[in-house]
Every structure is written in C-alpha cells, then in structure tokens.
Structure 1
C-alpha cells in the first residue's frame, strides 16, 4: 500500500497509471458496445423467427 502512495504516477486505490486506466476504460466501453450490438441482433432474429406482441 505504501508503494502506491510513494509513486506519483499511480492512482490510488487501483494502482494503475492514468494511461492504463484510460486503456481499460476504452476496452470496457468497446466491450459494452459489442455486447449491446449482439443483444439487439439476437432480439431482431428472435422477433423475425417468432414475432411477439401480435
């Protein structure tokens, strides 16, 4: 824990640098977008195969 406080480039409590944090954030956002696209596509295919609310 004292290592994080002594290194000014690391951000507490994660221990990542600003650049590492931004990279992880980009990957999380991209993964969420991909997941959302797949979910929309799956719902579209499910609706085409068996329309609901008709």
Structure 2
C-alpha cells in the first residue's frame, strides 16, 4: 500500500512537512545538548564543584 505524499494527516501536516519539522526538532535538540554539555563543563572547571 502506497502512502499518498500529499495526504494531510490529523496533525495538519503532509508527510514531507512532518519530516522537515522532525529534522528541525532533532537539530535543535543536538544544539541544546551541546550547549548544556559545554555549560556543565565550564561550571565544573570554574567552580569548586565535586573537588
């Protein structure tokens, strides 16, 4: 059974639109994770945290 690429799903998005949105969500999560890891590293280096 083929999926119609122009079908609008209950979310109001087509398959292509939902895949594009998913890519942006994943990319944003990666950027947030990198910034959070960097912030934790800097907090560890510059404060007497667990020393």
TM-score by length of 2: 0.82
Q: List gaps (5 residues or longer) in structure 1.
A: 1-7
Q: List gaps (5 residues or longer) in structure 2.
A: 1-5
Choose between structure 1 and 2: higher helix proportion. Answer: 1
Moved over 3 A (4+): none
Q: What CA RMSD, in Å, does the superposition of the two structures yield over aligned residues?
A: 1.2
* CA–CA distance in structure 2, aligned partners of residues 28 and 41 of structure 1: 20
Choose between structure 1 and 2: higher strand proportion. Answer: 1
Query: What is aligned with 2:9?
Result: 11
TM-score by length of 1: 0.78
